[in-house]
Amino acid sequence: MTSLDMQQFKGTEILVVEDSRTQAIGLKFLLKEHGFDVRVAYDGVLALVAVAERKPDLIVSDIVMPNMNGYELCKSIRENEETYDIPVILLTQLSELSDVVKALESGADNFVTKPYKPDFLLSRIHHILVNRELRRDRHSEKIIEIFFDNQKYSFSAMPTQVIDLLLSTFENAVEKNKELQRVNQKLLEVQRELRDKNKELEAANAQKDRFLGMAAHDLRNPLGHIALVTDMLLEDLDDRLSPQEKEMLTITQHSSRFMLELVNDLLDIAKIESGKLNLSPVETDFATLTRHNVERNATLAARKNISVTFEVDGDIPPLMLDPGKMEQVLNNLISNAVKYSYPDTTVRVSLTRRDDAVVLAVADEGQGIPADELDKLFQPFERTSVEATAGEKSTGLGLAIVQKIVEGHHGKIWVESTVGKGTTFFVSLPITEA
């Protein structure tokens, strides 16, 4: 709608009835910009006063207002012989079918749903003003009866008024549908962009995994050789090494073993994140597998003067497991318990049958983990505030790998901990037939 379209109505007076001063000012500015004379009333009661002072050519009114709402105002206008022919456009944020019925009952000529576009409102005003002569013939009014929501409504209205109101309802629906289409189109564009970004991320992630795998694989062999050579030197040349030489070799030994462990963990986590956790389950005596792992870790724990015990509660049937991967789970949980325990304490490993599952428990008498840090345990590279008691290092990947292996066996892992008393890790594995 352009200002040229409104030239024939220049000087036409419109009464704006709006309780929001911000919206009233905005609407007044829009109408004055197109050549209309504009007065403003801030509720229905003040609008009736303004109409009594000077009859406007058109009223544009909000519906939801204090003192007197838009429906009541419109009805008062229609019931007055002096003002019945003033066209009324109602502005509303409502869009239910019942609102159309109320508008018909009140005698409104049109209603526009908020938020509206200025051109759409101007086109409604233009249509009303062009056809306003038709509204001055009250003899064309008819009694109209409609049924809505199991209720009968009866009121008098001119056919043109009913048609205009229904047309405005249709136009509102069309406008809302256009807006919905625009929003939907934007949503489709965002979805396409998101798909493209996801493809880029997948490609980058795959490239990262390949690079990580290649780098870790190339590092593993030389690190293994370094660790083996330092072991041999410390063992074969023990009586011929000076204290300084022995210290340097010990540092090299510990560092190379930690780096080898980190490389192995990086290879594992890269495979897991790329969906390549390959399990080869076979019928396994889990009790024997656990006992052997306890014995190996007990030797290392003895260096810290920590004892590791093993107890089996009830009959533990064979389980369908990948022995190598489950060995990795056992070694990580037991060595972690030793790593974070104080000397002269005990790490207790136990197996218990519970219904259709076998539960592994690894309990220590260590420092315990704060409750607000427990959710970090199974996140890659996340660390808690708890430090190893002898300065042992951690890659921050072990428990994340353990969780994936356990879940790959359709099992569950969880932890219970009390600061100052210790921590217990639980692994539940289902009993299934071979």
Q: Is residue 29 predicted with pLDDT exceeding 90?
A: yes
My answer on whether 96 and 220 are in the same domain is no
So what's the pLDDT on residue 3? 46
By mean pLDDT, which of 106-115, 296-305, 374-383, 389-398 is the weakest?
Answer: 389-398
Mean pLDDT of all residues in 249-266: 72
| 165 within domain boundaries | no
294 has a pLDDT exceeding 90: yes
23, 62, 82, 173, 421 from 123: Cα distances, Å: 19, 18, 27, 15, 77
- Please, which pLDDT band fits residue 241 given cuts at 50, 70 and 90? confident
Q: Last residue of a domain, which of 157, 175, 206?
A: 157
- Please report whether residue 82 resides in a domain: yes
Q: What amino acid is encoded at 343 in this protein?
A: P
Q: Is the pLDDT of residue 165 over 70?
A: no
- Indicate whether 393 and 318 sit together in one domain: yes
Mean pLDDT of 287-311: 91
118 and 15 within one domain:
yes
Same domain for 71 and 202?
no
Give the pLDDT score at 321.
92
Judge if 224 and 324 occupy the same domain: no
**How much is the average pLDDT of 145-152?**
59
Q: Two tokens at 152?
A: 């009968």
> Does 176 reside within a domain?
no
Residues 219 and 145 reside in one and the same domain: no
Say if residues 334 and 364 touch (Cβ distance below 8 Å): no
Are residues 315 and 378 both part of a single domain? yes
> In this structure, is residue 182 part of a structural domain?
no
Contact indicator for 121, 29 with CB cutoff of 8 Å:
no
How would DSSP label each residue in 141-193? -EEEEEEETTEEEEEEE-HHHHHHHHHHHHHHHHHHHHHHHHHHHHHHHHHHH
First to last CA, the chain: 78
Q: Which contiguous run of DSSP H or E holds residue 308?
A: strand 307-313
**For range 306-314, the mean pLDDT:** 92
Domain that holds residue 233: 189-273
Residue 181 in any domain: the answer is no
CB-neighbour burial class of residue 119 (10 A; exposed 0-12, middle 13-18, buried 19+): exposed
pLDDT above 90 covers a percentage of the chain that reads 31
| Same structural domain, 340 and 401 | yes
Q: Are both 196 and 146 inside the same structural domain?
A: no
Domain match, 356 and 399 both: yes
Whole-model pTM over 0.85: no
- The tokens for 120 are 């759409």
Sign for the pseudo-dihedral over CA of 108, 113, 115, 119: negative
Give, in degrees to the nearest 5, the angle at Cα 284 between 279 and 288: 125
Q: Are 126 and 103 in contact (CB under 8 A)?
A: no
Q: Give a yes or no: residue 384 inside a domain.
A: yes
Tell me the residue ranges of DSSP E strands in 334-411. Answer: 346-354, 357-363
pLDDT digits (tens, 9 = 90+) for 67-79: 899 999 999 998 8
Residue 324: what pLDDT?
A: 86
The answer to the question of residue 177 being in a domain is no
CA dist 234 and 107 (Å) reads: 102
pLDDT for residue 94 is more than 80: no
**Among 85-99, 232-246, 340-354, the range of highest mean pLDDT:** 340-354
Contacts within 8 Å (CB) and 24+ apart, 391-394: 392/339, 393/258, 394/336, 394/339
Is residue 295 one of the residues assigned to a domain? Answer: yes
SS3 396: coil
In this structure, are 318 and 210 located in the same domain?
Answer: no
Same domain for 24 and 131: yes
Q: What is the pLDDT of residue 153?
A: 56
Give the strand pairing for 319-321 and 37-41: unpaired
CATH of the domain at 251: 1.10.287
Bridge partner residues of 151 (DSSP): 148
Instruction: Report which of residues 166 and 390 the model is more confident about.
Output: 390
How far is the C-alpha of 60 from the C-alpha of 50, rounded, in Å? 13
Question: What average pLDDT does range 265-280 have in this prediction?
Answer: 70
Number of domains in the chain: 3
CATH number, domain containing residue 22: 3.40.50.2300
* Coil vs helix vs strand at 386: coil
For 114-137, how does the pLDDT look when each residue is reduced to its tens digit (9 = 90+)? 878 888 888 888 888 877 655 555
Is 80 exceeded by the pLDDT of residue 391?
no
